[in-house]
Amino acid sequence: MTKIKETSTNFANKKALADECPEIYASNIIGGQWALAICCYLINGKMRFGELRKKLQNITERMLTLQLRRLEEDKIITRTVYAEVPPKVEYELTEIGYKLKPIILEFEKWGNEHKELMKQS
C-alpha cells in the first residue's frame, strides 16, 4: 500500500473533494475492500489479529497490519495489548467506529438488493 505523493494532482483532487464533501471524506476513510471488511467483522465485537486473518482469507499479514494501523490512526479502531507471553492483542471499534454499524448494515442490504437485480438482468 503506497501513499499518494502530496505534490501530485491526484492528492490535491482527493483533498479538495474530501474538504468539500463529507461523504467523500468518509469514503476515503472506510473505502477500499479491506478497511470496510475489517469494520464489518469488528461490529460484532473485539477480535484478535489471527481471528481477523482467518476471516479475511485472501489478505496478506502485511496488508492486514497496514490496514489496522491506518484504521487506528483514523480513530476507527483501538488496539489493546495485554502483558502476556505470548502477547495478546485485540482490536475493537471505537465509539465513532461503532457508529458505522447502521451504515454497514445498509450497505449489506443494498448489496443484496443490487446482486438480486443483476441476477434478474
Report domain extents, the chain. Answer: 9-120
- Which pLDDT tens digits describe the chain residue by residue (121 residues)? 456 677 778 777 777 777 788 888 888 888 878 999 999 999 999 999 999 999 999 999 999 999 999 999 999 999 999 998 888 999 999 999 999 999 999 999 999 999 999 999 8
Which residues share a beta bridge with 78? 92
Q: Compute the distance between CA of residue 17 and CA of residue 9 in angstroms, rounded to an integer.
A: 12
Assigned fold of 9-120: Arc Repressor Mutant, subunit A (1.10.10)
Q: Cell 496488508, residue?
A: 63
